[in-house]
């Protein structure tokens, strides 16, 4: 098996589980602090999709989003600055890329505080930068992103009560 593919497939469960755990932990900490953080609004949208709209959505999140988002956030916002700017800009570029990645996924309801997935998606974006750095292939984060989205969509449908809005 190709070393880059093997690295990606080995990283996938760890990154996915850590991201989901961080999302859950953010909610637990917020609850302990008596802070109301809304659940990710995207979950409710996904659970209400059916038929062709659901198939189109799956094509979007499993193919188009990983291709586009990894090109923008990992290649344009992380890789290009690390190649074009002298000095060690990998960490600052990874932070900027990850914050913007997380912000793009935030859909505000009626509050100005990010949802429980905000911190987790920052972590996910940061780990995507590290995966790209390790493999030196944009295809690896793209595949990892598609697998991550597949797991999340499957969990939403397999365990609807876990993702239900309170």
Whether residue 132 is contained in a domain is answered as yes
Whether residue 164 is contained in a domain is answered as no
**Phi/psi class of residue 136: alpha, beta or left (left: φ > 0; alpha: ψ in -120 to 50)?**
left
141 pLDDT more than 90? yes
Whether residue 166 is contained in a domain is answered as no
Whether residue 99 is contained in a domain is answered as yes
Whether residue 165 is contained in a domain is answered as no
> Whole-model pTM?
0.87
Higher pLDDT, 119 or 141: 141
Give the domain extent around 92: 3-158
166 pLDDT more than 60? no
Whether residue 9 is contained in a domain is answered as yes
Whether residue 122 is contained in a domain is answered as yes
> How many domains does the chain fold into?
1
- Tokens 């390790």, residue located: 134
64 pLDDT more than 70? yes
Please state, rounded to an integer, the average pLDDT across all residues of the chain: 86
Q: What's the pLDDT at 38?
A: 66
- How does residue 86 score in pLDDT terms, banded at 50, 70 and 90? confident
* Residue pLDDT, tens place only, 13-33: 999 999 988 988 888 887 888
* Residue pLDDT, tens place only, 40-58: 667 778 888 889 999 999 9
Whether residue 163 is contained in a domain is answered as no
| Mean pLDDT on 141-149 | 94
- Residues with Cβ within 8 Å of 143's Cβ and at least 6 positions away in sequence, in order, are 5, 8, 12, 66
Q: What's the pLDDT at 67?
A: 97
């Amino acid at each position: 098996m190709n070393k880059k593919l093997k690295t990606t497939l080995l990283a996938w469960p760890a990154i996915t589980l850590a991201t989901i755990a961080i999302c859950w932990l953010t909610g637990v900490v917020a609850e302990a602090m008596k802070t109301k953080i809304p659940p990710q609004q995207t979950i409710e949208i996904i659970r209400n999709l059916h038929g062709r709209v659901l198939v189109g959505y799956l094509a979007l999140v499993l193919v188009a989003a990983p291709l586009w988002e990894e090109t923008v956030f990992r290649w344009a916002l992380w890789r290009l600055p690390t190649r074009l700017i002298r000095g060690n800009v990998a960490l600052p570029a990874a932070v900027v890329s990850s914050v913007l990645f997380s912000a793009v996924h935030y859909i505000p309801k009626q509050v100005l505080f990010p949802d429980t997935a905000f911190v987790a998606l920052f972590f996910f974006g940061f780990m995507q930068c590290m995966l790209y750095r390790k493999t030196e292939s944009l295809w690896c984060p793209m595949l990892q992103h598609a697998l991550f989205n597949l797991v999340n969509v499957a969990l939403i449908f397999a365990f609807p009560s876990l993702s239900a809005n309170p």
